[in-house]
Structure 1
Amino acid sequence: MDLFDFSSYLKCILSVPSEEIDIQQLTGGLMNLTVRASFTPPANLFRFGHLSSAILKYAPPFMAADPTQPMSVHRQAIEAQALVLLSGCSIPAISEILSKFPTLRIPKLIHHDAERHVLWMTDLGETQTLSQYLTSDPLMHDIERIATSLGAFLAELFRATRDPPDDTITLVANPSHTAQTYSFLISVTKKVLTTAGITNAELLAERVNEALQSNGTVEPCLGMADLWPGNILIDSHCNIGLVDWEYFGLSTASSELGMLVAHLHLIRLQTQASAHENSRSFTAFLLDSYFQHAPAPSSYFRRQILMAYGCELVTRLENARELEDASKGQLLNAGVRSLIAAGGSENEVDFSTLKVLDNDRGALSQDIMAMVCHRFA
């Protein structure tokens, strides 16, 4: 089913013939339909002048991949606001940070057609996701350069947006989506743990609930709230692009980092042996750089990163059809141990739980989070 006719839409909006427009559908397409529109000759795109291409994202009132699942189009308004804020217009500190990281790019908002639910953004060019990059054959020097830059940027972004003012929070608030997401995560966590026969499933699910409810109330900052390798793009010159900001809003540095590290763990389980070291090295470089630039982690940070990491791994099992049974077992093992290590409070965190290894692939299952914890344990 064609969800949206971009060619006809652009022909109408820009008053250019269809033969001057080329539409290329981009990968993804779970929530939205995203394309690259190329123009020959370059088209006059609002205040940006003449551009040879732009990225357009259509947000239907349902999941693009499953029209039976309704979704609020408000997610697109959030992304439009996020791109404005991240341009540095409203928060000068962000502009200063971006100037320090010339290889890190965030799309600029060209236009938001709220009536047709189409977001226009600048084109970051030909890229691959971080997952694709790490499973190719990159040079270790380039892995280090990219991870180091990203780690430092995230640390400075979270610090610069710490304790955001109420008017900024209001601009990107999406309470109904947040409540729906938290309810889903808690439900899936309990279901996966119970199905797997974890004896303390109820207790661990309640810990996840408590951690999610506190997210953004302690040590709040602004974050992507969906930070995973699919939203991190790498081009042939090792430039980094951060895309898909539709869930941008109040978050915490610990939950953002915990989610990303969990997905880096997933890359190791999903891919061939040659990519294992790439993922592990990227994680180590990222963490070293992050903690060099971030404030000393608090007891709240230490517990919350364990909770975010564990929750992400456990809930991922709900739709991990691509994983072999052995990998699913390792995923469950790592997620459960992280939730157990978090304890019932900040005073009960026990990192020693992560040091128990019981699989024939050595530290594969546990050393990702152990790499995080040994930096502040």
Structure 2
Amino acid sequence: MSFDFDSYFKQLDPQNTWTVKRLTGGLVNLTVRASKSQNEESLYVAAGKAGRFGNSQSLILKYAPPFVASVGEAAPFDQARQTFGQFFADLHAEGTLNLIKPHGTDPKLTRFDNSSMKEVVRRAAVSTMKPYLGQFNCADAEKLGQVVEEDFDREAVWDGEQCFNVGDLWPGGILIESSPAAAKFPKLGVIDFEFSGPGRGVNGDMAQLLAHLHLYYIAWGYCVDPLGLHGNFTLLILLALVIARCNWNHPRPLLHLPTLVVYSDHPFSYMDEKL
């Protein structure tokens, strides 16, 4: 890991002992799960005091270095993305929502520019299309790669296409409540808003989510299928539509959005995993 989480927790929450485990998935940031130890010493020290994180037993933390975490310092990445995430955390706080009043249409909102994020997407996903297809001897690799790049760079917006986009909607960015009480109607929550901004609706978030779900569908073909879902891609589409409806049409997020923690100049977002 590129950050000493153990020392960080000792200074931030000295009353408790936390065990940190790195999570898989994600390219831009370093994400870990921190679990509160339940040994006698930690319970004794914390007696009568909940500590910095209240009664939370498990936390998800995301460290945002000034570069793409999976690549290193060779791929610098503006930490303004953390400020952006903090803005959305504050925006979706219950107190903020209760104060919001209709303001009409502000033309400034249509000119939001997130150029550093766009360049990261270009390098990681757009410009790599042609060489990836070429590895599988795709005869149309050059043509398809060009189509993808032209669509990525186009400025025109189709009728009804533009709306707010999460910007990086994939299964790892969706939390599903797992408590017994939520077995029938679990709450869904979308996290990770650093790529957010005006987007292209089904040609943005939903296209990316369905692409990830299709990869899972392919992977299932090589695994044991205890649920009998092989061949049922329709189920994946329905799941995507349920997620879209719950998060786009609901008046406020169903779960807490990440809250920014800044300690010793290190930006973090953390979430109570218990929810």
TM-score tier, shorter chain, comes to 0.5 to 0.7
Deviations 1:347-371 (A, max 9, x none): xxxxxxxxxxxxxxxxxxxxxxxxx
By relative contact order (CA 8 Å, sep 6+), the higher-ranking structure is 2
Q: Which residue does 1:24 correspond to in 2? A: 20
1:3 match: secondary structure: coil
Structure 1 residues 92 and 267: CA distance shift in structure 2, 3 A: farther
**Structure 1 residue aligned with 2:114, among 174, 186, 189?**
174
Distance 2:7 2:139 in 1: 57
Distance 2:31 2:242 in 1: 34
**Structure 2 residue aligned with 1:214, among 154, 162, 184?**
154
Q: Which residue does 2:131 correspond to in 1? A: 191
Q: Which residue does 1:227 correspond to in 2? A: 169
Q: Which amino acid aligns with 1:52?
A: S
**Structure 1 residue aligned with 2:211, among 262, 269, 292?**
262
- Asked if structure 2 preserves the Cα contact closer than 8 Å seen for 1:221 and 1:252, the reply is yes
1:57 match: secondary structure: strand
Q: Which residue does 1:59 correspond to in 2? A: 64
Distance 1:178 1:265 in 2: 24
Q: Give the deviation of 1:167 after TM superposition.
A: 4.9
Distance 1:259 1:200 in 2: 22
**Structure 2 residue aligned with 1:282, among 236, 246, 250?**
236
Distance 1:253 1:90 in 2: 25
**Structure 1 residue aligned with 2:91, among 77, 85, 88?**
85
TM-score computed with the length of structure 1 as normaliser: 0.47
- Structure 2 unmatched ranges of 5 or more: 38-45, 250-275
TM-score computed with the length of structure 2 as normaliser: 0.62
Q: Which residue does 2:5 correspond to in 1? A: 6
1:63 match: secondary structure: coil
Q: Give the deviation of 1:8 after TM superposition.
A: 2.7
Q: Give the deviation of 1:225 after TM superposition.
A: 1.1
Q: Which amino acid aligns with 1:56?
A: L
Q: Give the deviation of 1:175 after TM superposition.
A: 0.7
Distance 1:220 1:89 in 2: 28
Q: Give the deviation of 1:57 after TM superposition.
A: 2.0
Identity of aligned pairs, percent?
A: 28
Listed as ranges, the matches of 1:322-333 within 5 Å are none
Q: Give the deviation of 1:30 after TM superposition.
A: 3.6
Q: Which amino acid aligns with 2:56?
A: S
Q: Which amino acid aligns with 2:140?
A: N
- Asked if structure 2 preserves the Cα contact closer than 8 Å seen for 1:221 and 1:250, the reply is yes
- Asked if structure 1 preserves the Cα contact closer than 8 Å seen for 2:5 and 2:20, the reply is no
1:244 match: secondary structure: coil
Deviations 1:72-119 (A, max 9, x none): 1233222222323344766779x9xxxxxxxxxxxxxxxxxxxxxxxx
- Asked if structure 2 preserves the Cα contact closer than 8 Å seen for 1:83 and 1:245, the reply is no
Q: Give the deviation of 1:6 after TM superposition.
A: 2.7
Q: Which amino acid aligns with 1:33?
A: L
- Asked if structure 1 preserves the Cα contact closer than 8 Å seen for 2:210 and 2:240, the reply is no
2:198 match: secondary structure: strand
Q: Which residue does 2:190 correspond to in 1? A: 242
- Asked if structure 2 preserves the Cα contact closer than 8 Å seen for 1:216 and 1:252, the reply is no
Q: Give the deviation of 1:187 after TM superposition.
A: 2.0
**Structure 1 residue aligned with 2:50, among 38, 42, 52?**
42
Report the structure, 1 or 2, having the larger helix content: 1
Across the two proteins, how many residue pairs are aligned to each other?
217
**Structure 2 residue aligned with 1:203, among 137, 143, 149?**
143
Structure 1 residues 204 and 83: CA distance shift in structure 2, 3 A: same
Give me the CA root mean square deviation: 3.8
Distance 1:37 1:223 in 2: 32
Q: Give the deviation of 1:266 after TM superposition.
A: 0.8
Q: Which amino acid aligns with 1:243?
A: I
Distance 1:294 1:51 in 2: 31
2:19 match: secondary structure: strand
1:198 match: secondary structure: coil
- Structure 1 unmatched ranges of 5 or more: 96-162, 296-377
Q: Which residue does 2:30 correspond to in 1? A: 33
Q: Give the deviation of 1:294 after TM superposition.
A: 9.0
Distance 1:26 1:242 in 2: 20
Structure 1 residues 214 and 8: CA distance shift in structure 2, 3 A: same
